[in-house]
Structure 1
Amino acid sequence: MRGPTGGQLSDSSRQQAMSDFLRREAPLANVVGFGHGVKWADGRPTGEQAVLVFVTQKVPESMLPERDVVPRQMDDGTPTDVIAVGHVAAQRSTGRGRSVPSARGDEQQAGRPEVSEQLAQLSQPLLEELGGLGAFEPQLLKRRMRPCPSGFSVGNVRVTAGTLGSVVYDFLPGATVDPPGAGLGVPSKFYILSNNHVLADSNRAQLGSAILQPGTFDGGQDPGDRIATLERFITIQFAPQIPLERHNNVVDAALGSVDFQDATRETYFSGAPRAWRRKANVAVGDLVKKTGRTTNISFGRIIAVDATIDVNYGTAGTARFKDQILTTNISAGGDSGSLVTSQDNVAVGLLFAGSSVVTVSNHIENVRALLRVEIAEQLA
């Protein structure tokens, strides 16, 4: 990460910049998150590193109280850049392809030549190069499949539908065979990986409850379409029960115990993840892809790798997530749980939220560590 004069920004400088915003007595109006990326000028990325301030929509400074104006630079001289990201929400299916009942802020972005439009255009050359690869029949990943490839519709019996991200297994130190434990006399347990809000209904589902494929919104019924049972999940902290400034959310992730023959690590359209990538090696500008229940296969670029952002979960509340990956928009409602990978199938993140402008994903390193599972035995 380079500073305004081309020097390297230290981790302490990054943390200080974030703290300067988060410790304010009153939050900036319209601001939903922060991160680090590159500054934009005249609709183009300059390559100059900056603290990014994410807002639902841009408002002229003349219309804002002075206390709500984002400073042009941090105390250490690092420039800031305001990015309109719309309304960010957890992307479980609502049947409308969106996960927010009202997208008023997103609609106000339409037709405006702002940075948000330029972000969306970042992935366009890649889509054109790949031709019609993203134009698939919309029902393709919503049907029942056994064994079920990653990328298909799935969900707890209590929810509508999300996406089966991958098949993972308990971490076995020193295991070098596939499937893990083969020939070692070690019993293996396999899981489907997706989001907490897909498999565990945002903390509300009981362990052992049924997970269906396809999800209920796509016609799945219990017990005929049961593919797994809820094994464990990482609890999400929500406001107003817990104030946003006290949230320590880093993943929206859960596991369902599955029989090995009922699901596969093969991601539809892409193949199995061949490795996973540490956070330190995920960079702004990287090309990524995902396969999901609603928008099939889609491609984009990383905007920020360490974002703090507030996510709307509807009736469950709002949750603040730290250390997140933001990309150009590669998702819609129902794509939650999709595995985000590099173009050569290295696992990078677990998709869980987004808007009409951006998509938000957990770092796969955090998911792997907190759930204590392995997604691929190689590190890239």
Structure 2
Amino acid sequence: MHEHELFDAEATAVPSELQGLTDALATAEGKFLDKPNVVGVALGHKITDGVMSDTPSIMVLVSHKVPADMLRPADRVTKTVDNTPTDVLEVGHLVAGGEAPAEPLRAVDAQTLASRVRPVRPGYSVGHPKVTAGTIGAGCYDIAPLPGMPPRYYVLSNNHVLANSNDAQIGDPVYQPGVFDGGGPADAIGRLARYVPIRFDGTCNYVDAAIAEVPFDTIDRDIYWSGYPTTAATAAAVGQLVKKTGRTTHFTTGRVTAVNATVNVGYGGGKVARFCNQIITTTMSAGGDSGSLVLDWENRPVGLLFAGSAVATILNPIATVQVALGVRLWP
């Protein structure tokens, strides 16, 4: 059985009402991505006065909106692409959001997700020794035909949380909690097992993901405040309500605003990585939440949170993550 066959085809499908826009999306990538202020393009529904319509559109993602009369004609977004309506969606300056903020956090009850816990639940602090802190998204295990006996078990998070944005060695320790939250050698929960390298050469990345192997009895799959995943994966739909639990902002909810997004994401030090086929939601995260598993209202996994801004959050489709790493979250 091939790895991709372990997931329902619908888990990675483009929503039916947007399937006819993929050619227009490709045109939009070539036409708009090099314009000032544009950080990505995606598929979605036109939004007017904050209300999402039923009109399928090419979403042009900008760091901030600028009045048309302040732009050169060559820098303006056309009203259509290949006869498909366009819409401009402000998403802020997108950055990989795995690391905890540099300033001390407020002393509030939510700090409990920054503590040491055994067995640990998804939603809690974790990190490579060279990273401040991110979030455990899920417990998972190696893909194998069902039924069977999984040989190894893992915690799932981002590359930039567990593998320090490619600057790590397989076998490096992973701390729970992360260093920012007081974690050290005595708090090692496991060791880096696999990660998908992030490319910074302008070619498409599809996931920012990594796993650390852990003893079976140190990880639970019961996500703090949400519960157990109810399936392996489900596709994102524009307008869909979603939720997550993360180390910094804890339990939050959001709405999917665009899918099949191509976005440029900053990783600090001037490094930018392009990600394709991503999911955009309203803001539901902050620094330290990266690695969180995003679920729908029925606890079906939708995406792995890895980046965002003050006004938007970016997810890798969770089916793609599992295939890329050779793991599964359910059953």
Aligned to 1:254: 210
- Is the 2:41–2:263 Cα contact (8 Å) retained in structure 1? yes
- Is the 1:97–1:334 Cα contact (8 Å) retained in structure 2? no
Cα distance, 1:19 vs. partner? 2.1
CA RMSD of aligned residues (A): 1.8
Pairing 1:323-362 to 2, within 5 Å after superposition = 323-362=277-316
- Is the 2:131–2:178 Cα contact (8 Å) retained in structure 1? yes
- Is the 1:248–1:320 Cα contact (8 Å) retained in structure 2? yes
Output the amino acid matched with 1:17: A
Using the size of structure 2 for normalisation, the TM-score is: 0.90
CA distance in 2, matches of 1:94, 1:268: 19
Cα distance, 1:95 vs. partner? 2.3
Relative to structure 1, the CA distance from residue 155 to residue 10 in structure 2 (aligned partners, 3 Å threshold; closer, same or farther) is closer
Q: SS where residue 319 of structure 2 aligns?
A: helix
Mean Cα displacement is larger for which, 159-168 or 39-48? 39-48
Mean Cα displacement is larger for which, 302-311 or 20-29? 20-29
Aligned to 1:113: none
Cα distance, 1:326 vs. partner? 0.7
1:192 aligns with 2:192: no
Relative to structure 1, the CA distance from residue 149 to residue 26 in structure 2 (aligned partners, 3 Å threshold; closer, same or farther) is closer
- Is the 1:287–1:343 Cα contact (8 Å) retained in structure 2? yes
Output the amino acid matched with 2:88: V
- State percent identity of aligned pairs: 45
Aligned to 1:140: 112
Give the alignment partner of residue 92 of structure 2, picking from 86, 96, 101.
86
1:221 aligns with 2:184: yes
Give the alignment partner of residue 34 of structure 2, picking from 27, 52, 56.
27
- Is the 1:159–1:215 Cα contact (8 Å) retained in structure 2? yes
1:201 aligns with 2:164: yes
Using the size of structure 1 for normalisation, the TM-score is: 0.79
- Is the 1:93–1:160 Cα contact (8 Å) retained in structure 2? yes
CA distance in 1, matches of 2:32, 2:142: 43
Deviations 1:250-307 (A, max 9, x none): 100001000011111111111121212343xx21111110000001110111111211
Aligned to 1:38: 45
Cα distance, 1:84 vs. partner? 1.0
Relative to structure 1, the CA distance from residue 289 to residue 9 in structure 2 (aligned partners, 3 Å threshold; closer, same or farther) is closer
CA distance in 1, matches of 2:288, 2:299: 22
Cα distance, 1:10 vs. partner? 6.5
Mean Cα displacement is larger for which, 213-222 or 270-279? 270-279
Aligned to 1:269: 225
Report the count of equivalent residues.
Answer: 313
- Is the 2:99–2:161 Cα contact (8 Å) retained in structure 1? no
Aligned to 2:11: none
Structure 2 spans left out of the alignment, 5+ residues: 1-15
CA distance in 1, matches of 2:259, 2:18: 15
Q: SS where residue 330 of structure 1 aligns?
A: coil
Cα distance, 1:42 vs. partner? 3.1
Aligned to 1:120: none
CA distance in 2, matches of 1:95, 1:334: 7
Q: SS where residue 252 of structure 2 aligns?
A: strand
Pairing 1:93-172 to 2, within 5 Å after superposition = 93-96=99-102, 137-172=109-144
CA distance in 2, matches of 1:213, 1:79: 47
CA distance in 1, matches of 2:268, 2:136: 22
CA distance in 2, matches of 1:65, 1:85: 21
CA distance in 1, matches of 2:29, 2:73: 18
Output the amino acid matched with 1:337: G
